[in-house]
Amino acid sequence: QVQLEESGGGLVQAGGSLRLSCVAAGRTNSYVGMGWFRQAPGKEREFIASISSGGTWKNYADSVKGRFTISRDNAKNSVYLQMSSLKPEDTALYYCAAGSTLTASNRYSYWGQGTQVTVSS
C-alpha cells in the first residue's frame, strides 16, 4: 500500500500563486508516474498534470498549461504542483495520485485525501 498526503492548499487572490506538495509513504516506489487532479463542487474530477517516474516527461491539461508546473523529488518521495496566475475557476479540491501518467483517473492506483485551493476574485 501507498499513502499519499497533499499539503499547501489555501485561500489566495486571483493572480496569486500556491505550491502544492504530495508526499508518498508506505510501499513507495519512485519508479511510477504521478499526477494531479482536481474536483470542483458539482463537477467531475479533472486531470491537471502528470509526470513520468524520472521526471523528464510531463503532461498538462490545456486549462493550466503555461500557469502550472509539475515536478518531483524522488529522494523525498514527493511530487509538487507550482500554480501561478491563479483564477477563480481554479478553485477546487486538488488530489495527488500515483501509478500512471495518463489523463484518466481510473488508471491511477493510489490517491490522497485532497487539499483545498480557493481563489478569490
Q: What is the pLDDT of residues 55-98, one digit of tens each?
A: 999 999 999 999 999 999 999 999 999 999 999 999 999 999 99
Query: Over the chain, what HEC string results?
Result: CEEEEEECCEEEECCCCEEEEEEEEECCCCCCCEEEEEECCCCCCEEEEEECCCCCCEEECCCCCCCEEEEEEHHHCEEEEEECCCCHHHCEEEEEEECCCCCCHHHCCEECCCEEEEEEC
**Mean pLDDT, the chain, as a whole number?**
95
